[in-house]
Structure formats: structure tokens, C-alpha cells
Amino acid sequence: MKISLIQMNSRQAKAANIAAATDLIERAVAEEQPDWVCLPECFDFLGGTRAEKREAAEILGEGPAYRAMQDLARKHGIFVHAGSILERIAGQELIHNTTLVFDRAGKEIARYRKIHMFDITAPDGTQYHESSAFKAGNAAVTYDCEGLIVGCAICYDLRFPDLFQVLAEKGAEMIALPSAFTLLTGKDHWEVLCRARAIETEAYFCAPAQTGTHHVGGDVRSTYGHSLVVDPWGHVTARASDGVGIVSTRIDRNLVAKVRAQIPVARHKVRIR
């Protein structure tokens, strides 16, 4: 199966972001002919105030980001793992950060809401409080991509290995982690954590990321980029360069089986209390 990861520089202009995502997927299809395409976290709207985020959020199935990705999957006969979008919750001020997946016919086959909220103070003193705008999800999600089981996670989830062990136990052979990793944390932690999660789960790890800058109120925030694919042995098999673009590679299910046979960690796992 051939896959393409889309690296974007989304900002606070929803229509422009959706147009950019559409153009990049169209380009990936024309140049790479992928079976499966994955966008980064918050591809439809990144940054802005809490009120602006809520205004940009959409009821799933009714909004432009949802329809655009559904239409692209149907038009090109591909799987679209639509990074994440801002999902409005009826009657609530908080919103969800939600992954949507569409099959080759444009049917929604998975929906994952980010579980872990990025409430931290970065090394430069910048404060991030996702929980002030977002409501956490509570369910681990996998889906079947023509026999390949794909697990879902988003950005800060990367730091919580228990989630990925659950995905592996649910049969995941490939894990998608759409992200908007900060520049400061990304330069030190991004690759090593992605490789660790691939090695631990003995699964392919696919991490499309945001790159460049966006604004949150009067602050400029920088994202790390460096979208990458890691194989089940922990080798980086594809990596995006700086800037907006596409990176593609092939997934070999036989390699997953081979690695799991060589080091059968699932069989050796001991429940420790």
C-alpha cells in the first residue's frame, strides 16, 4: 500500500486552509498515486483565540472541512485520514479535536477525538492550555484499511505509551499521528518519540505535521514540521523537508509480521500491578 503524508502551514483562515489541503491532496494523487493520504492536526484551523476556534468548529457531516475531505476520497478512490478538524459540541463552549477517516467511496469509517490535552509551559515560558478550549475524548480507535488495521492518535498523545499499547492490542499494524508539534519540543523529542512508539508497537508509525508559524492572540507560535514515517523496526523510511509539501512511501505488512515474529513482545508482555 502506498501512502502520502501532507505537511501544511495552517493558520486562522479556514477556507484557505481547506483549499490548501485540497490542493496538496490533488498534487499527491497526481504525482504519487497513493492509496492512503494523511493530513496534519488542525489542518482546517490552527491558532486563534478560544472564541475564534469555536466559531471555526463545525458539526460533523455538515461543515466544509468534512465535506471537502469526503469528496476528495470519493473523487480519487483513496482513503483520506483527515488529520484533525475542530468539532463543535452542541450546547457546549468546549470543542473536540477530531480525526475523521473516509474510505475510497467517501464513507466515514472512523472518528477519533484527541484524548490528551496539551497543558504545559514550554522551555521558553510559553504556556499552552488546550483544555481551556478543547474537551478530551475517551476512546481508543482503530479501523480496517483493506485488511490493514490502522490506529488513531493526535500530537500530544505521542507522550503516552499506554494508548499505543492499547492500539497494538486492538490489532494496529500502522498508527497515524497527525500533529502540530511545537518547534522547541519537536527539535528534541519528535523523532525519538515517534521511533520509540514504532519500536514498542512493532507497527508502522505515520506522523504528518504542521510546519511554520501561526498566531495565538498576539503571540507567534512555531511548529516543527519534519513529517515522517517509521517502520516497525524503528527506521525512518520517509521524511519531509522544511516547508509545505508531501512525503510518500510504501507500507509492507509482511515486515510487520516479520518483526513481530523476531521479537514477540506481545507474547512476552507481563501485567504488572
How far is it, in rounded angstroms, from Cα 100 to Cα 106?
11
Is the confidence at residue 187, as pLDDT, over 90?
yes
Output the pLDDT for position 90: 93
Active site residue 114: yes
How far is it, in rounded angstroms, from Cα 30 to Cα 179?
24
Q: Encode pLDDT of 56-114 as tens digits.
A: 999 999 999 999 999 999 999 999 999 999 999 999 999 999 999 999 999 999 999 99
Output the pLDDT for position 112: 98
* Catalytic one of 14, 53, 114, 135: 114
Cα distances from 131 to residues 38, 118, 119, 180, in angstroms, run: 25, 7, 7, 16
Q: What is the pTM of this model?
A: 0.97
* Catalytic one of 38, 145, 155, 206: 155
Please report which residue ranges of the chain form alpha helices under DSSP H. 14-32, 50-56, 64-76, 161-169, 183-201, 253-262, 265-268
Domains parsed from the chain with CATH numbers: 2-268 (3.60.110.10)
Q: What stretch of H or E contains 3?
A: strand 2-7
Q: Encode pLDDT of 110-147 as tens digits.
A: 999 999 999 988 888 888 999 999 999 999 999 999 99
* Mean pLDDT to the nearest integer, 248-268: 97
Q: For all residues of the chain together, what is the average pLDDT?
A: 96
